Amino acid sequence: MSSAPNALITLGYEARREGRLEDAKQLFAKAVESSRGVANQALLAKSLTGLGQIERDLKDNAQALQHYGEAASIYRGLPDPLRLAHAIRHVGDILRSEGSIEQARPCYEEALKIYREQMETSHLDLANAIRGLRCSERTLMRRNRRGPSGGKLEVCTALLRCSPVCKRATLRSSVWPRRAPFELHPPLRNVVKSSNGPRPGTNFARSTRALIFNIGGKSGVVESCRKAVEYGL
């Protein structure tokens, strides 16, 4: 009874290796239908995983997420922790690629926990889970540092424009220009001119922090400190 789904799965992966994605999609879809017909949960989850892979190849993340999610739900009721971890990790990959970092992170954390508990875990699977988790954490960290205005460059631009010590302040592109057309407070001008670009934690951060404090002046130092903390500077 289970030979038909298995044969379809095998043919589906062969078609995928040969680049025949539409053929592979049809084969995996038939495997899913056949597996439901024989009420074999393990084969159904395996078929859904293959179909999810093809949907990702075809750039249909919504369908891929649905298939991987169903496969993960099935694997939770089966004694196959590694396949569960694989499905959960792929759910995390799709969510991260779609920008849903907050939802992706717990997927990586759960998958990583399972991988570390299983002696059969391959180094590649473990590395992929760690990489996904670290990428998610870095993205969340960058988002938190940017604040509500959308980024340090935007913050710096806004502060420059309202600065009483800057007569003219514009950013011509999304990167710090080599020759900034700023009329700045003299000590700050030298720091900015010495920088070839916004290097995190160095010239750009120091320049922006210095600018905030120069703008604030003696009367606005408390507000300047608050802004510096708010934007992670």
Contact 101, 136 (CB under 8 A): yes
What structural domains does the chain harbor? 3-145 (1.25.40.10), 152-230 (no CATH)
Cα–Cα–Cα angle for 72, 77, 78, rounded to 5 degrees: 90
**Across residues 224-233, what is the average pLDDT?**
43
User: How far apart (Å, rounded) are the C-alpha atoms in residues 125 and 165?
Assistant: 55
Residue 183 confidence (pLDDT) above 70: no
Residue 186 confidence (pLDDT) above 80: no
Q: Which residue has the higher pLDDT, 181 or 60?
A: 60
Distances (CA, A) of 92 to 51, 100, 123: 17, 9, 18
What rounded mean pLDDT belongs to the chain? 74
Q: Provide the percentage of residues in the chain whose pLDDT is more than 90.
A: 56
pLDDT at 197: 42
Collapsing DSSP states into helix, strand and coil, what is residue 37?
Answer: helix
User: How far apart (Å, rounded) are the C-alpha atoms in residues 207 and 133?
Assistant: 32
DSSP letter at 151?
S
pLDDT band at 95 (very low <50, low <70, confident <90, very high): very high
The string of pLDDT tens digits covering residues 78-93 is 999 999 999 999 999 9
pLDDT at 3: 57
Residue 219 confidence (pLDDT) above 60: no
Residue 72 confidence (pLDDT) above 80: yes
Distances (CA, A) of 13 to 10, 17, 43, 166, 187: 5, 6, 14, 63, 64
Q: How many residues does the chain have?
A: 233
Contact 169, 182 (CB under 8 A): yes
